[in-house]
Structure 1
Amino acid sequence: MTAWNNPLIEQRADPQITLVDGRYWFTASVPSYDAIEIRSADSIAGLSTAPTKVIWRRHDSGPMSFHVWAPELHRIDGRWYVYFAASERDDIWKLRMYVLECEGADPLQDNWVERGRIATPEEGFSLDATPFEHGGRRFLCWAQKSPPTESNLYIAELTNPWTLATEPVVITRPDLAWERIGFCVNEGPAVLKRNGRVFIAYSAAATDANYCMGLLWADQSADLLDAKSWSKSPTPVFTTDESVSQFGPGHNSFTTTPDGQTDLLVYHARNYRDIVGDPLNDPNRHTRVQAFGWRNDGFPDFGTPVADGSCSL
């Protein structure tokens, strides 16, 4: 039996868990927003007590000196990369996307180097970059503000892990009422390929109890760089459930059980609604994991957030 406790890891927001060669890897935003740490274990439960390794710390000034957010660890063509966003101490909302590369095969022991900023044609607030492969091509999906008051999701093809090869295309804007509570936000994309479709889950609204997940999809044979290829759920697919004290679930990633037979949703949520002050300064967005299934029409069924406590399959 596979089992773990929720929350899996406390005070880790924007969580990402990936399974590589039978081993789980975890990274997330740390409450101080000043460093990137990773950990690894041979089970989901093991991540909760696995030692952490800080692989990078913010700069003292200039770019990458403030608001280090939402790192993602990916292995691409045998190399390890971390995608993250960071701003500047003297301009704390000048968020941009950056990439680190591990110089060796062991992310916990080998040296990491900065590969620089992911440049986009329209310079501006950008974050939550996630790369994925489809049809033998490498793509990047991310969130960027354009116009300045709205965070949209973009997609482009990559030349290499840190360089765009094509003009970015907007695939969703926060044009639905539930995406515009507090802030007009589409962010935190996570890619899932199943049943002849490419799905992108994303998060919307302010980072309080209104935070929730939406869903995009395109046919696997479609041109992913054509905005018309993408459809969007008119309603959120994963939301606050007050009955089990789970508030603001979102900024998810996907993984599976070691045998690949069960899909797992990784996300953060708080176990209380009321927040004093700015929600970004409240550290209690905890990492949670739960299994999800599939509907007869081939779409994911994420269900509802589970209560704190033991989870088992």
Structure 2
Amino acid sequence: MSFAVPNAPLARGNRVHPNPLVPHRADPQIHRHTDGFYYFTATHPDYDRIVLRRSRTLAGLATADESVIWRAHPTGDMGAHIWAPELHRADDSWYVYFAAAPAEDEWAIRVWVLENTNPDPFQGSWTEKGRIETAWDTFSLDATTFTHRGTRYLAWAQQDPTREGHNTAILLSAMANPWTLTGHQVILSAPEYDWECAGHQVNEGPYVLQRGGRIFLTYSASATDHRYCVGLLTADADAELLDPAAWSKSPVPVFTSSAWAGVYGPGHNAFTVAEDGETDVLVYHARSYQEIDGEPLDDPNRHTRIQTFGWKPDGTPDLGAPVAETVKESA
């Protein structure tokens, strides 16, 4: 992996990738697969469907055709608030983890899973594997999965019913298979610093990056307005990941709004790699203005953005600051 200049715009040759990359797509994820394609998914602003795009280049995702692979149910479970899908390859199948609520109780949000056994996620059929059963039957969302030393883990955000005024914490569990948790479910991080409790007490949107004998877990904090920001947990690769004491939390956010760049509320990030296979890329959403009229979740102008990032001398990721908008080009 290269040590890219943290605040430089993502470039390939002399071309600058457009930012925003995909307008009106929050909670983005870009997965670079072994087939050479970048696969993109994100929250659709209508909160009623799961979409995929793919391209051989990151810039190409901006204009790639979008396919609806699944739609919300008209009634009952998985009928409302279809949020934060993530696409993962596991056990020779594709899986999408997403948040959804019953159509008749739209804030009873839980994590659900789709499976496609076709090698091409745009082909075959998507089967509903059901809800991921957690120890607490409470508000939960933003699931992501990763493997470490032969064990698959799920990290997600969930309301801790023992904490008054608390919205969500970051939890971790091992998995028996890609849709079933097993063993202990532990809290890795709960809102404690002021920057995690601005507007709402929130830790959400976890995503994992492994490098240099350490595991880094980023997450987003506070309300989904200009105060939204990214925090960082770090664990040694030799540690017991299900021991909360193995993880250290940065006392300050590692990625925040930039008035200079005109980028507000950056968060719900993911990671990928540029076309050279070495340059690290941060994927996130943000708005281009600070003031929001009404409820932030009703504002559709969270746009997907990408930029390169580097590494600090101590081996931790240096996400830098959001870059300003660029002039859009064709892929």
TM-score by length of structure 1 reads: 0.98
1:243 to 260, 270, 284: 260
Q: Which amino acid aligns with 1:231?
A: S
Q: Find the residue that maps to 1:55 and give its secondary structure.
A: strand
Between Structure 1 and Structure 2, the one with more strand by share is 1
Answering whether residue 27 of structure 2 is matched by residue 14 of structure 1, we say yes
2:81 to 67, 89, 92: 67
- Distance (whole Å) between structure 1 residues aligned to residue 183 and residue 278 of structure 2: 35
> What displacement does 1:237 show?
0.3
Q: Find the residue that maps to 1:128 and give its secondary structure.
A: strand
| Residues 152 and 172 in structure 1, CA contact (< 8 A), matched pair in contact too | yes
- Distance (whole Å) between structure 2 residues aligned to residue 295 and residue 65 of structure 1: 44
| Residues 72 and 83 in structure 1, CA contact (< 8 A), matched pair in contact too | yes
1:260 to 277, 281, 298: 277
The change in CA–CA distance for 1:201 and 1:75 in structure 2 (over 3 A counts) is same
Q: Find the residue that maps to 1:46 and give its secondary structure.
A: helix
- Distance (whole Å) between structure 2 residues aligned to residue 155 and residue 260 of structure 1: 29
Q: Residues 158-173 of structure 1 correspond to what in structure 2 (within 5 A)?
A: 158-173=175-190
Match of 2:300 in 1: 283
1:154 to 150, 171, 175: 171
Q: Which amino acid aligns with 2:251?
A: P
Match of 2:316 in 1: 299
> What displacement does 1:311 show?
9.2
- Distance (whole Å) between structure 2 residues aligned to residue 247 and residue 86 of structure 1: 26
Q: Which amino acid aligns with 2:200?
A: F
Match of 1:207 in 2: 224
- Distance (whole Å) between structure 2 residues aligned to residue 311 and residue 296 of structure 1: 34
Q: Which amino acid aligns with 2:130?
A: G
Q: Find the residue that maps to 1:91 and give its secondary structure.
A: coil
Q: Deviations over 1:98-123 (max 9, x none)?
A: 00001311111221110000000111
| Residues 99 and 118 in structure 1, CA contact (< 8 A), matched pair in contact too | yes
- Distance (whole Å) between structure 1 residues aligned to residue 178 and residue 186 of structure 2: 18
Answering whether residue 16 of structure 2 is matched by residue 3 of structure 1, we say yes
Query: Which range moves more in the overlay, 216-225 or 87-96?
Result: 87-96
Q: Which amino acid aligns with 1:68?
A: I
Answering whether residue 44 of structure 2 is matched by residue 27 of structure 1, we say no
| Residues 205 and 269 in structure 2, CA contact (< 8 A), matched pair in contact too | yes
- Distance (whole Å) between structure 2 residues aligned to residue 78 and residue 264 of structure 1: 26
Q: Residues 137-148 of structure 1 correspond to what in structure 2 (within 5 A)?
A: 137-147=151-161
- Alignment gaps of 5+ in structure 2: 1-12
Aligned-pair Cα RMSD in Å: 1.2
> What displacement does 1:195 show?
1.4
2:114 to 68, 89, 100: 100
Q: Find the residue that maps to 2:110 and give its secondary structure.
A: strand
Choose between structure 1 and 2 for higher RCO, CA contacts under 8 A separated by at least 6 residues. 2
| Residues 39 and 108 in structure 1, CA contact (< 8 A), matched pair in contact too | no
Q: Which runs of 4+ in 1 moved over 6 A?
A: none
Match of 1:136 in 2: 150
Give the aligned length. 312
| Residues 28 and 70 in structure 1, CA contact (< 8 A), matched pair in contact too | yes
| Residues 16 and 326 in structure 2, CA contact (< 8 A), matched pair in contact too | no
> What displacement does 1:77 show?
2.3
| Residues 158 and 168 in structure 2, CA contact (< 8 A), matched pair in contact too | yes
Q: Find the residue that maps to 1:111 and give its secondary structure.
A: coil
Q: Deviations over 1:2-31 (max 9, x none)?
A: 631000000000000010022100000000
- Distance (whole Å) between structure 2 residues aligned to residue 204 and residue 259 of structure 1: 32
> What displacement does 1:186 show?
0.2
| Residues 213 and 250 in structure 1, CA contact (< 8 A), matched pair in contact too | yes
| Residues 252 and 265 in structure 1, CA contact (< 8 A), matched pair in contact too | yes
- Alignment gaps of 5+ in structure 1: none
1:182 to 191, 199, 222: 199
| Residues 150 and 173 in structure 1, CA contact (< 8 A), matched pair in contact too | no
Q: Deviations over 1:225-283 (max 9, x none)?
A: 00100000000000000111100000000000133211000000000011111100100
Q: Find the residue that maps to 1:165 and give its secondary structure.
A: strand
1:110 to 124, 134, 137: 124
TM-score by length of structure 2 reads: 0.92
Answering whether residue 69 of structure 2 is matched by residue 52 of structure 1, we say no
